Structure 1
């Protein structure tokens, strides 16, 4: 169906074109109505008026203005003669005889604006509406009926669209919030598909499938790391024993350093696996005791690398809640880090304070200010050719976060780096 047909049907359904159709006589008479030289009502024989007279053999009409002047032609049907007496009291009217025709009245009364001024025309409705008048009526209908309705619909659409879109897409906002909670260290998180629109659901399902594959890949990687770390422990222990049996020499010292790094790396891998997958209950841990044990174990390595060591417990006993193995690993990593990056000279100082803090400092070159935040990232190494794997400080950070504590890194006032483990009070 064409747009023109839709418009015509709409105007006809609204009753707009019905009035044009019924008023065929009135329109022709209105266009032909003028005043003569004496100011009286008269008709000009227009082409449309002549056509109307040909189409309607018994054309009749009554025209009068507001001054009382009247113009009458033709024979008024008897059933409408009584209407003449009350014309001045009528504004607009549709008249039907006793038989009644529902679609079209037999006569019509209407005030019209013409070249002769306001005039009331009373006539039959036998005239046909020309194609020209139909186009005129449609054009007027577009302006007075269709256009206002169109504007109202556009305004309503503009006003309602944001609410409709927000309502339809509310599930996407919730899915985005769930997606924002996904991090590399969390497993099993999925985005809910219950409230997302049907058009978006395949995408959300595909993302959930990808997350499932990533979880599976992480599980495979974690098993590999755990197995590799376990398999490395035995040959590393044998290597340490054989190196320790060698006579003193610079080569032995270097071998001890290298084997120690291997042992630390294997322990770090096991600790990462343990932190991520093993639920552990926290117990009271005595910081002075386990820190002293770490210092005792690593002192030979530090002396061999050219350092002196100083253990300064500020109090006889400091107790925190935590996992002993993990805390001991964190302190070991800090002391090992001081041995690796302290420059091979000066004193490595380890302190335990009553404020439940453990401080490890060295007298090396310190940490560049631009790298103070980056050093805790995994596999981050200050020196490109460093012997470490870049896991030690990251593991310490994870252990402290696991214990609801923090690790602070700064440079000493004179020289060297200082790391502080702060446990919750």
Structure 2
């Protein structure tokens, strides 16, 4: 698996987090807007704009009296409110007025100096008094009291400023806390949702060519992923069926080869001795070996019940069986054992086939000279040594691959040594090749010893 491939879990986490953040943002904006409209959260009064414009236009003359400057902000408010009126008073009692001040507010004066801000208005007894706002504010000439009407509109800049205050003071902290909670909770939720796939992944890792019938579990699998699990199980069923047909075909072919090979060997036995007879006899042995190798490959697909096996007996039996063939090929067979018993747990038929393949490999590639030695030791296992050309160093890792043959040696089908390796692995052992003391090849087959 490449690290560049996207993670489905983290994609879901980020998408869920983003979607939740969007929903929370919209919800928070709607809540703030509702509170704002009802005046329960933020109240923007139009007279605030008027009071700010008046305050910034106040100046003081040479004699200390309050004067009024015609600023752009005040001009804009007057253009919007043709009936604009106001009264400005400082702490010393100096006043300045503009517009038509309603009679109800003309004599308020210093009676409300101790009030920071107030709102007035009334329609009691049929007398309508227009609404007005009184507030102490800072101006270029110091603190002044401004009394004015409440008409007008709120500017866009003031709305944006108020919205920013609301966002950074209330909405942003809410979003930050929610985002942190989402990033912590979302991975846990997604991990729990994907936990049902862990058993399917574990079962998938157990799929092996020698374990037919393995299927992915579909219990507790999410409904969206169930079709994928079903498709994989159907594919595994088809593979198992094809593999069984292939095994039956190989087994049938191997059995069918045995009969004509037995007839051919019987006819060769009736011929008078000659070099041609020996060559033909070796070729029939190779064909018979190929048939047995096919059968052995099929046998390895079935599990066996391990029994206690003496490697000394196995190697001695193989050497005695193949000694005539080795002698006929101009070799001197030799069997050596460090002790009488070297025991392991395994299958005797498979072990005999592995040793047989190693000895036959030595016969075929030993150069038809010298000796072939089979040695059994507790520390070394079974070692087969010849005095041929050996195996090149760059080929020693590939020589156990199926159907791999050395280019300089055309004999063989490339299955014998692969079968030896499969048998070794089946018994928890290993096989490897080294250079012999006299330049030949040394194949060592080692296994875990029985306790």
The question of a shared fold, defined as TM-score above 0.5 by the shorter chain, is answered with: yes
Q: What is the Cα deviation at residue 93 of structure 1? A: 6.2
Of 383, 408, 428, 1:404 maps to 428
Of 310, 326, 332, 2:350 maps to 326
Q: CA RMSD in A?
A: 4.2
Counterpart for residue 210 of structure 1: 235
Counterpart for residue 36 of structure 2: 15
Counterpart for residue 25 of structure 1: 47
Indicate how the Cα distance of structure 1 residues 378 and 32 shifts in structure 2: closer, same or farther if over 3 A, else same: same
Q: What is the Cα deviation at residue 218 of structure 1? A: 1.8
Of 75, 82, 87, 1:47 maps to 75
- Count of residue pairs the alignment pairs up: 405
Counterpart for residue 346 of structure 1: 370
Structure 1 position 75 matched with structure 2 position 102: yes
| Residues 18-53 of structure 1 deviation map (CA, whole Å, 9 limit, x = unaligned) | 698742122123113321324555444633332454
* Separation (CA, whole Å) in 1 of partners of 2:121 and 2:226: 63
* Separation (CA, whole Å) in 2 of partners of 1:257 and 1:93: 121
* Separation (CA, whole Å) in 2 of partners of 1:352 and 1:416: 18
Q: What is the Cα deviation at residue 193 of structure 1? A: 5.7
* Separation (CA, whole Å) in 2 of partners of 1:151 and 1:21: 21
Indicate how the Cα distance of structure 1 residues 160 and 189 shifts in structure 2: closer, same or farther if over 3 A, else same: farther
Of 254, 261, 265, 1:240 maps to 265
Counterpart for residue 10 of structure 2: none
**Which region of structure 1 is more displaced relative to structure 2, 8-17 or 349-358?**
8-17
SS at match of 2:399: helix
Indicate how the Cα distance of structure 1 residues 70 and 263 shifts in structure 2: closer, same or farther if over 3 A, else same: farther
* Separation (CA, whole Å) in 1 of partners of 2:220 and 2:143: 65
Indicate how the Cα distance of structure 1 residues 142 and 20 shifts in structure 2: closer, same or farther if over 3 A, else same: closer
Counterpart for residue 362 of structure 1: 386
* Separation (CA, whole Å) in 2 of partners of 1:397 and 1:280: 17
* Separation (CA, whole Å) in 1 of partners of 2:277 and 2:34: 105
**Which region of structure 1 is more displaced relative to structure 2, 184-193 or 356-365?**
184-193
CA contact 2:88–2:147 (8 Å) conserved in 1: yes
Indicate how the Cα distance of structure 1 residues 6 and 394 shifts in structure 2: closer, same or farther if over 3 A, else same: closer
Indicate how the Cα distance of structure 1 residues 21 and 287 shifts in structure 2: closer, same or farther if over 3 A, else same: closer
Q: What is the Cα deviation at residue 364 of structure 1? A: 1.5
Indicate how the Cα distance of structure 1 residues 253 and 129 shifts in structure 2: closer, same or farther if over 3 A, else same: same
Q: What is the Cα deviation at residue 81 of structure 1? A: 6.7
Of 382, 387, 396, 2:411 maps to 387
**Superposition pairs of residues 151-300 of structure 1, within 5 angstroms:** 153=175, 157=179, 160-161=182-183, 164=186, 167-168=189-190, 171=194, 174=198, 179-192=204-217, 202-277=227-302, 279-300=303-324
Indicate how the Cα distance of structure 1 residues 47 and 402 shifts in structure 2: closer, same or farther if over 3 A, else same: same
Counterpart for residue 11 of structure 2: none
| Residues 37-89 of structure 1 deviation map (CA, whole Å, 9 limit, x = unaligned) | 24555444633332454367xx5x555567776656723758x979x756535
Indicate how the Cα distance of structure 1 residues 40 and 418 shifts in structure 2: closer, same or farther if over 3 A, else same: farther
Structure 2 length-normalised TM: 0.74
SS at match of 1:380: coil
SS at match of 1:54: coil
Structure 1 length-normalised TM: 0.78
* Separation (CA, whole Å) in 1 of partners of 2:181 and 2:339: 71
SS at match of 2:300: helix
**Superposition pairs of residues 371-382 of structure 1, within 5 angstroms:** 371-382=395-406
* Separation (CA, whole Å) in 1 of partners of 2:189 and 2:408: 53
Of 441, 444, 449, 1:417 maps to 441
CA contact 1:362–1:416 (8 Å) conserved in 2: yes
CA contact 2:35–2:42 (8 Å) conserved in 1: no
Point out where structure 2 has 5 or more consecutive residues left out of the alignment: 1-25, 125-129
Structure 1 position 137 matched with structure 2 position 158: yes
* Separation (CA, whole Å) in 2 of partners of 1:239 and 1:95: 127
Point out where structure 1 has 5 or more consecutive residues left out of the alignment: 100-104
| Residues 229-251 of structure 1 deviation map (CA, whole Å, 9 limit, x = unaligned) | 22222222222222233222222
* Separation (CA, whole Å) in 2 of partners of 1:319 and 1:6: 77
CA contact 1:366–1:415 (8 Å) conserved in 2: yes
* Separation (CA, whole Å) in 2 of partners of 1:205 and 1:295: 52
Q: What is the Cα deviation at residue 97 of structure 1? A: 6.9
Indicate how the Cα distance of structure 1 residues 65 and 77 shifts in structure 2: closer, same or farther if over 3 A, else same: same
Structure 1 position 315 matched with structure 2 position 342: no
* Separation (CA, whole Å) in 1 of partners of 2:94 and 2:219: 79
